[in-house]
Amino acid sequence: PGQKLECTRPLLNIVSREAADEKFFPTLVKAIEQELPLFRYRHASYFNYPENFRRCVRQLRLAILARDVEKLNEHIQIGLKHFRQQLMSFELYHTTCREPFDLSWFSRLPTVIQAAALDIFVYADIHQLNPLDDYLEHLDSFRELDEPRNGPLLRDLLTTTLVLRGELDEAAAILEKDLDVSYAWVRKGWIALLRGEYTTAAKHYEKGRALLKTSTRKRKNIPYFYHFSGLFYPLALFRLRDVAAVPEVLQIVNQTEKDGNEYLEGYLSLKALAFARQNKMVEARALLAGVPGHHPIAPSYLVSSLATYWISPQSLKDRTSQLTALYEKARKNGYRWIAA
């Protein structure tokens, strides 16, 4: 008695999800759109009003709740055209589908929405070494999905999760379904490297790069792999060729800098390692000094730490406590490939 109920985002989402299943929901949506229309003004200055971005987000959230893919795509295009920077930094799927994450509700969304959301959720948790158990069984249900876009994307998430859990054989078997897609060969290369099969790993990575070039041949600037498993290809090259691998590794790192690759800190550490292999220790240490000693993306941080150790074991002492904490978190949360 006397206590006020706080309207938090999770509570609002629970109520909204329940309402979306009711017959009155379309009528409610129309009433909201009439009272607070998305396009209040036709003049270009309309888009300068902060409330219009909020209304665009509202329409996106309503489209997800209504399971309306066409409307969702329509308002994504509007958002990208007029509010690109704001929309790119706004966590739409987190705020709509993950607060809280209710699999019984989430699994009833259209597959394309699930795939887009899971692609964000899974990697966000991997970067922090958070548990992946909430996703694994659900991702496994898409193992045989034949949709040309969503099938490979969801299988990639599944195989990535399995590899991180140390289930290499099962992950490798799933990849056989997508051998015409670049990602499958990159993951096969990653698996081979984790098994210590460096020659096989390099061949698989090269096949993945060839397929990527084919699929992006119309682009002037062909990107490097955006998945963190791409960090391991230079390691395979160093293992096989030592100093002879330096030109190719530097080319890879330069491309990731152009791409604005999410795992750039790891690649810059590999660039420092390339300099060290050439006995350019001044350049190596200078570059390494500019790489953050700690950043939130665990796979990149681990590769960066490995490269740092190979350059100068003494330099790794500053990271001991952080690496110990990462190891304990990995062990606790089932990342057997790290904790092994």
Q: Quick one: pLDDT at residue 51?
A: 78
Phi first, then psi, for residue 98 (nearest 5°) are: -120, 0
156-192 pLDDT, tens digit each:
999 999 999 999 999 999 999 999 999 999 999 999 9
Q: Quick one: pLDDT at residue 46?
A: 57
- Angle (nearest 5°) at CA 25 between 22 and 30: 165
- The pTM score is 0.90
Q: Quick one: pLDDT at residue 340?
A: 47
> Which parts of the chain register pLDDT below 50?
340
User: Per the structure block, which two tokens stand in for 302?
Assistant: 């681990």
User: How many angstroms separate the CA atoms of 64 and 107, rounded?
Assistant: 12
Q: Quick one: pLDDT at residue 219?
A: 75
- What's the 3-state SS for the chain? CCCCCCCCHHHHHHHHHHHHCCCCHHHHHHHHHHHCCCCCCCCHHHHHCHHHHHHHHHHHHHHHHCCCHHHHHHHHHHHHHHCHHHHHHCCHHHHHHCCCCCHHHHCCCCHHHHHHHHHHHHHHHHHCCCCCHHHHHHHHCCCCCCCCCHHHHHHHHHHHHHHHCCCHHHHHHHHHHHCCCHHHHHHHHHHHHHCCCHHHHHHHHHHHHHHHHHHCCCCCCCCCCCCHHHHHHHHHHHHHHHHHHHHHHHHHHHHHHHHCCCCHHHHHHHHHHHHHHCCCHHHHHHHHHCCCCCCCCHHHHHHHHHHHHHHCHHHHHHHHHHHHHHHHHHHHCCCHHHHC
Contacts of 338 (CB under 8 A, 6+ apart): 129, 164, 302, 326, 327, 330
Q: Which amino acid is at 75?
A: H
Q: Quick one: pLDDT at residue 79?
A: 87
Q: Which of 97, 99, 93, 92 is nearest to 107 (CA)?
A: 97
- Compute and round to an integer the Cα radius of gyration of the chain: 23
Q: Which of 135, 144, 141 is nearest to 117 (CA)?
A: 135
Q: Quick one: pLDDT at residue 328?
A: 93
Phi first, then psi, for residue 303 (nearest 5°) are: -65, -40
User: How many angstroms separate the CA atoms of 127 and 4, rounded?
Assistant: 37
User: How many angstroms separate the CA atoms of 327 and 333, rounded?
Assistant: 10
Question: What are the boundaries of each domain within the chain?
Answer: 1-102
Residue pair 196/168 in contact by the 8 Å Cβ criterion: no
